[in-house]
């Protein structure tokens, strides 16, 4: 290849990496509005489309749901009733690592719920997202969600920053 | 065109899309610090520069302000007094869709206020931002802000994720 | 240069700017998980690696720490004990300005702490981050953190948005 072709190939790879970063951020950003409008199975089924067919949602204090159907049904008892009174799943700034056709992201989530004329944090959790590039875009293969508290759950999720951080390009 | 020219044109379009994503994110990120230092009309006038001349700020529980002057003046009674005791408008991770010279973004906002040695959520809202590309950068043509609660306001804003999500490139 | 070379050079500069934006965002996003797992000096030493050798962490209500060793040790008395019961430093959407080999970012932070079956905001602060590009990636040269409240501290940090905003490309 010529130097110009080399430069273009290098630039194309970097643009792809940045585009992947944005795309993964979008998946995470879409979770809140999707779950906060999931008040019936038709909607939580749309929400579950964020995952791959055999994707896992491992929820702190609730348990592990495997596959889109189980994930969609997982919201029936624990979540549908909250939507009517208003709920906001707010995602903090994610740390995202792209590695070829896989990605890992780490972020905090806050679930805010109204009470009188204020809102309170009903859940604060650490989240590890693992995603794969698919023909339908980036999809979640596994999300681990752990409530921030005295047990080791969230701590172990938070600690994955060590692995992610060391793998990051400068 | 040659193949190299095709590749460069495609790459240029993708870089433009990513640059637009970042630019829209910057507009949203600047809102908090600008409003939280708006304790007089001179400053809320600077804040109102985030909008286009005939831009709309449709605020849950307050009403709709049209045009920069009305938006700037809209903060006089509802907001200026809060700045002295400290206030933080914190934006959650936005979902952003770029479509040519227009953009739409969806994000949660939390307004945190000090009380004793803690802070509490004085407002939690869902926000729909519509923006246009102008000669002065991306400007807000309409922002709809709805308090998360039992009425349909926030739910309808949150539900725009369906439309945005379906329009997103993989 | 030919037109094609010009176009490629321009595109390369823009991609570099976007890559820098993402890289600075990653530094900020990594702070939370790193500090929230810092329960001993070995871990706060890793956390302090976010700074340059003579970097400054100027913490509202605590004081100014200079250099990695002092920063790492700064967490011993004020922070280590919190990790065991769970803590989440959540970063809001940052405004980031890249200027050659330097960068400035502005964002809010919330420190959420569990209490009974809820979480409360133990600190809400405005943060100014100044970073330099180094051989080991973007590193923090100075972070100013000020609690949102009635004194001028946070207000002055928040007001840096004026300078940043005016320097931003459209």
- A94-131 pLDDT, tens digit each: 999 999 999 999 999 999 999 999 999 999 999 999 99
Phi-psi region of C85 (alpha: psi -120 to 50; beta: other; left: phi over 0): alpha
Residue of C92, C119, C135 lying closest to A121 (CB–CB) = C119
Would you report the helix, strand and coil content of chain C in percent, each value rounded to 5?
A: 40, 40, 20
C-alpha torsion angle, residues B104, B107, B113, B114 (rounded to 10): -130
Show me where the domains of chain B are located.
Answer: 3-166
CB pairs under 8 A between A and B: 113
Substitution target in C119, C123, C134 with the highest count of A β-carbons within 10 Å is C119
Query: Which residues of chain C fall below pLDDT 70?
Result: 1, 167-170
User: Bridge-partner residues for C108, per DSSP?
Assistant: C126
pTM: 0.96
Output the pLDDT for position B170. Answer: 37
A3-167 has CATH 3.10.450.50 classification: yes
Cβ atoms of residues C66 and C56 within 8 Å? yes
List of E strands, B79-159: 88-91, 95-99, 102-115, 118-134, 137-147
H/E stretch holding B75: helix B68-78
Taking an 8 Å cut-off on Cβ atoms, the answer to whether A93 and C88 are in contact is no
Collect all residues of chain C within an 8 Å Cβ-Cβ radius of residue A92: 29, 32, 90-92
Output the pLDDT for position A6. Answer: 87
Taking an 8 Å cut-off on Cβ atoms, the answer to whether C93 and B86 are in contact is no
Q: Which 3 state secondary structure label does DSSP give A133?
A: strand
Output the pLDDT for position C85. Answer: 96
Q: Counting runs of H as helices and runs of E as strands, what totals does chain B give?
A: 6, 7
Cβ atoms of residues A36 and A88 within 8 Å? yes
Substitution target in B26, B52, B98, B103 with the highest count of C β-carbons within 10 Å is B26
- Whether the pLDDT of residue A167 is over 70: the answer is no
Task: Tell me, rounded to whole angstroms, the distance of Cα A115 from its chain centroid.
Answer: 27
What CATH number does domain B3-166 carry, 3.10.450.50, 3.30.360.10, 1.10.1740.10, 3.40.50.300? 3.10.450.50
* Mean pLDDT across A78-92: 95
Go through chain C and tell me how many residues it has.
170
The interface predicted TM-score (ipTM) is 0.95
C-alpha torsion angle, residues A35, C109, C170, B47 (rounded to 10): 90
- Whether the pLDDT of residue B36 is over 80: the answer is yes
């Amino acid at each position: 290849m010529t130097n110009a072709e080399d430069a273009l190939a290098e630039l194309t790879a970097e643009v792809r990496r940045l585009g992947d970063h944005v795309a993964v951020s979008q998946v995470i950003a879409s979770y809140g509005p999707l779950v906060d409008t999931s008040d019936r199975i038709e909607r939580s089924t749309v929400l579950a489309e964020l995952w791959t067919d055999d994707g896992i949602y491992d929820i702190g204090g609730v348990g592990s749901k495997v596959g889109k159907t189980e994930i969609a049904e997982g919201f029936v008892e624990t979540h549908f009733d909250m939507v009517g009174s208003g709920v906001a799943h707010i995602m903090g700034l994610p740390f995202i690592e792209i590695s070829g056709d896989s990605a890992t992201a780490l972020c905090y989530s806050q679930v805010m719920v109204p009470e009188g004329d204020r809102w309170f944090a009903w859940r604060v959790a650490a989240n590890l997202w693992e995603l794969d590039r698919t023909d339908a875009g980036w999809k979640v293969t596994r999300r681990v969600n752990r409530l921030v508290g005295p047990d080791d759950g969230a701590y172990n999720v938070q600690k994955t920053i060590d692995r992610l951080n060391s793998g990051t390009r400068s």
